Amino acid sequence: MGVFTPGLDLDWIDVGYTNRVLQIWIESGLAQSNTNLHMYTFVTFYSKPRLFIYYTPPPLITAHIVFCPFTKVEESFNLQAIHDLMEYGISQDSLKKFDHFEFPGVVPRTFVGPLLLSSVSWPTSKILEFFAPHLSKFSRQYVFFALSKFRSSISKTFGKEVSIAFSLLSACQFHTIFWASRTLPNILAFPFVIIAFSHWISAISSTEPKRKLLSTIRYMTFTTIIFRFELILLLIPIVLLELSLGSLRFLDAIRVGMFITLISLLISIIIDSYFWNEKIMWPEGFVFYFNAILGKSIEWGVISGPLSILSMFVDARTRRFLLPAISLIIGLSFIGHKEWRFIVYTVPIFNICAAIGWVWIQLRSVFIHRIIITLLFASFMASTAMMIISSHNYPGGMALQRLHFIQSDYPQARIHLDVYTAMTGASRFGQLYNDWEYSKNENHSKPIEYVGYTHILTSNPHIHNEYFEPIDIIYGYERIQLENPSHIIRNWFNFSRNLDNIDSLMPAKIIIGPKVWIMKRKPKLVYDNTEKIQK
């Protein structure tokens, strides 16, 4: 079977009885030599290949949502805020029900993102609520971001082959696809950064580059002030670079930047002061002061792409994109606490440059091109494995879901979720029944203080054995165990006998262990102080 070459602009080719193989002759670019045309590869096409590859990322994002429908503590504020806005509204009286007053977190976060997402999701949620009231509350949290505008800019500037290569590279990477639908603050900023990048890239081929660059500044400034202040480490290099290239006038950049800064500050202060019940609240300014000035981010831990680099030498246009991205990474490297999500905005830039390098290679070496295809396939398989592993990493959310299933007929239950349960997927979107009461109270210090609850979800069942009994156990990820290669080879030789045990064919096994216990209050015991505790 041949290898698919992304650098081709082909009409639809359907599959007949056998795969149709087409020889593609590509101009080598060596026009001054005696050989102007070279045959580089055979290409095997399946039904509508361009459509499949060009639009691969969105279906993959959906697959990751289906496998991993829960969220963890990093996404907690935005997710709970979206829930509360959709469930309770924005009136002054409803604010007292909001989760952030009970669990405000270490630093305040902006409500601008949750307001946008809840506004978009509200109509769909109401339709779902009419047909399936319990399903809607769980399903409506999912919003994933389209990259179509960005991909279109790549196609117009660098060609369709680079755009398709970009889609393939993005589809084979775990982190971007996995986190694209999550409610991390960085991911809420991500689509605005992508739109800014699309204008920035379009400026190269646009007849009005100044207008495109000013749009880049508008989006980047808005995102910096509202969502993630560290993006200033990306905004400043972009502006300085374009000023040095003569594509932008200093006064125009300052005028637009200051105007959008003022507007963004007003938006954030007005909205967030209301929802946080403060006279003046600019969350991102507070976060920057806490993390960068006070250096408190180190309390959460301290840690001390060849194709992308190749593109700097084969296409000079990519240098203007790589340099600001590298500047952001270098700038954030001086901060003690580092996480991958802090530099998520640079991934599309590196993928563009890698796509350009890949297309350049395929025109010169079939062998290296096939190696790249093999590595992409390996990356895709690794990404799939990481998705499967991640599906075992949300025992709290699974426990809450399981509780609703096995105790669905229980009247007016009072549920307590411990810290571990809340941190591993149990959010307000999973609280399906309005006549049940859910609590994350962290002030209980003695087992007797829990007897006011009918059920508890806990990672420490032994301290509750006197008053509660387990009714189910939720298992979660422990570790990866590599299998003996000789056993795997033997099992593959006996493939037909092992079809009923697919796990025996895998090179590694996911080891799971008990994580969350669903416990129910013992039925025949009477507690004299139950009423006191409930109060």
pLDDT tens digit string along 456-504?
Answer: 999 999 999 999 999 999 999 999 888 777 877 777 777 656 556 666 6
Closest CA to 286 of 305, 265, 301: 265
Q: What is the CA radius of gyration of the chain?
A: 27
pLDDT in tens, 333-377: 877 777 778 888 888 888 888 888 888 888 788 888 888 888 888
What's residue 8's pLDDT?
Answer: 34
Check if the beta carbon of residue 452 is closer than 8 Å to that of residue 533: yes
- Strand 455-458 with 21-27, pairing: unpaired
Which of 121-135, 173-187, 429-443 is the most confident on average? 429-443
Q: Where are the alpha helices (DSSP H) in 391-418?
A: 395-406
- Taking the C-alpha atoms of residue 99 and residue 103, their distance in angstroms, rounded to an integer, is 6
Neighbours of 277 (CB within 10 A): 12
| 274 sits in which H/E element | helix 250-275
What's the pTM?
0.73
Record the tokens describing residue 136, joined without a space: 């809607």
Sorting pLDDT into bands at 50, 70 and 90, what band is 4?
very low
Sorting pLDDT into bands at 50, 70 and 90, what band is 311?
low
How much is the average pLDDT of 233-241? 94
| 479 sits in which H/E element | strand 468-482
Record the tokens describing residue 234, joined without a space: 């990306």
Record the tokens describing residue 206, joined without a space: 């646009």
In a 3-state reduction of DSSP, which class is residue 228? Answer: coil
Q: Identify residue 530 by its one-letter amino acid code.
A: T
pLDDT in tens, 49-89: 444 444 556 677 777 777 787 877 777 788 888 888 888 88
- Taking the C-alpha atoms of residue 527 and residue 535, their distance in angstroms, rounded to an integer, is 14
Cβ neighbours for 7, distance < 8 A, ≥ 6 positions apart: 26, 161, 164, 165, 359, 362, 363
Q: Identify residue 73 by its one-letter amino acid code.
A: V
